[in-house]
Structure 1
Amino acid sequence: MPSVSTNVFVSRPAAEVFDFLADARNLALWSSGVASVEATFVTPGPHAVYHYRFPGRRRPHVLVCADFEPCRRIAFRGERMWSPFGTQVPLYAFDLLPHADGTLVRLSVTSSLSAALVLMAPLVAMAWRRDLPADGRKFCDVLGGVLTPAAPLHGPLAAPPAAAAQGAAGEAAGAPGGPAVPAGTAMRTSAAPHGFDYAH
Structure 2
Amino acid sequence: MPRVTTSVIVSMPAAEVFDFLADARNLSLWSSGVAGVDGEAVPPGVDAEYRYRYPGRHREHRLVCAGYEPCRHIVFRGQRMWNPLGTQIPEYGFDLIPHGGGTLVRLSVHSSLAAGMALFSPVVAMAWRRDLPVDARKLSEALGGLQVRPRALEAVRPPESAPPASEPFDYAPTARAFWPGVGA
TM-score (norm 1): 0.72
What displacement does 1:169 show? 5.5
State the alpha-carbon separation in 2 of the partners of residues 68 and 169 from structure 1. Answer: 26
State the alpha-carbon separation in 1 of the partners of residues 110 and 93 from structure 2. Answer: 8
State the alpha-carbon separation in 2 of the partners of residues 144 and 122 from structure 1. Answer: 33
1:9 paired with 2:6, answer no
What displacement does 1:145 show? 3.2
Residue by residue, what CA displacement relative to the aligned partner does 1:125-168 show, whole Å, maximum 9, x if unpaired? 0000111111011101100233xxxxxxxxxxxxxxxxxxxxx6
> SS at 1:45's partner residue?
coil
State the alpha-carbon separation in 1 of the partners of residues 99 and 82 from structure 2. Answer: 41
Kindly indicate whether the alpha-carbon contact (under 8 Å) linking 1:8 and 1:145 is maintained by their aligned counterparts in 2.
no
> SS at 2:43's partner residue?
coil
State the alpha-carbon separation in 1 of the partners of residues 17 and 67 from structure 2. Answer: 16
State the alpha-carbon separation in 1 of the partners of residues 63 and 72 from structure 2. Answer: 20
Aligned alpha-carbon RMSD (Å): 1.2
Q: Which residue of 2 aligns with 1:114?
A: 114
Q: Which consecutive unaligned segments of at least 5 residues does structure 1 have? A: 147-167, 171-200
> SS at 2:42's partner residue?
coil
The higher radius of gyration belongs to 2
- The alignment of Structure 1 onto Structure 2 pairs a total of residues equal to 149
Q: Which residue of 1 aligns with 2:177?
A: none
Q: Which residue of 2 aligns with 1:152?
A: none
Residue by residue, what CA displacement relative to the aligned partner does 1:49-85 show, whole Å, maximum 9, x if unpaired? 0000000011000000000000110000000001111
The share of aligned pairs that are identical, in percent, is 66
Q: Which residue of 2 aligns with 1:43?
A: 43
Residues 148-163 of structure 1 aligned to structure 2 (within 5 Å): none
1:129/1:19 CA distance change after superposition, 3 Å: same
Kindly indicate whether the alpha-carbon contact (under 8 Å) linking 2:101 and 2:148 is maintained by their aligned counterparts in 1.
no
One-letter amino acid of the structure 2 residue matched with residue 89 of structure 1: I
State the alpha-carbon separation in 1 of the partners of residues 35 and 119 from structure 2. Answer: 26
State the alpha-carbon separation in 2 of the partners of residues 71 and 98 from structure 1. Answer: 9
Q: Which residue of 2 aligns with 1:53?
A: 53
State the alpha-carbon separation in 1 of the partners of residues 99 and 47 from structure 2. Answer: 28
